[in-house]
Amino acid sequence: MGLFRSREAEDLAAVQVKLEAARADVETQEQFVRELALEAALAEGDTPPRMVEAQDKLRRLQDRVHLLQAAVEEARRLEQSRVSKARGEAEKARVRAFRQHLSAVEKAALDVMSPG
């Protein structure tokens, strides 16, 4: 394809990059929570504040991933809509050009068939 990238395609690519980064952040935070799990399980009383903070951060990161997943879906929908519209317009242009060509051929055929 050409060098041109639509705004929709660029938006999709940008959101996909953010989504991958957010997923990596979730994985890192999940590992950290696992590392704190033993400490939390052995603690007397309430869950240690470090674990509560780690779990809260993990939930926020997971929420961001869900938001970015929704954004990717919307960006894909917009890009598909743009492509469909462009294809439809291109098809209309082809049909219009074909009709003009056909009309010119019909006129030429009538000129050839006309006496005179």
Whether the per-residue pLDDT at 2 is higher than 60: the answer is no
Model confidence pLDDT, tens digit, residues 80-89: 999 999 899 9
In the chain, the amino acid numbered 50 is: R
- pLDDT for 109 equals 86
Q: What pLDDT was estimated at residue 44?
A: 87
* Residue 92 covered by a domain: no
Global pTM exceeds 0.85: no
Ramachandran category for residue 90: left, alpha or beta (phi over 0 → left; psi -120 to 50 → alpha): alpha
Kindly state whether residue 110 falls inside one of the protein's structural domains: no
Establish if 108 belongs to a structural domain: no
Provide the residue range defining the domain that includes 69.
7-87
> How confident is the model over 29-56, as pLDDT tens digits?
999 999 999 888 888 888 899 999 999 9
Average pLDDT rounded to a whole number, residues 55-62:
98
The answer to whether residue 60 sits within a structural domain is: yes
pLDDT at site 72: 97
Distance CA 48, CA 14 (A): 38
Collapsing DSSP states into helix, strand and coil, what is residue 44? coil
Residue 77 belongs to some domain of the structure: yes
Q: Is residue 79 part of a domain?
A: yes
pLDDT (mean) for 2-6: 77
Q: Which residue has the higher pLDDT, 38 or 69?
A: 69
Using CA atoms, how far apart are residues 32 and 52, in angstroms rounded to an integer? 12
Query: Can you tell me the distance from the alpha carbon of 70 to that of 75, in angstroms, rounded to the nearest whole number?
Result: 9
**Domains: count for the chain:** 1
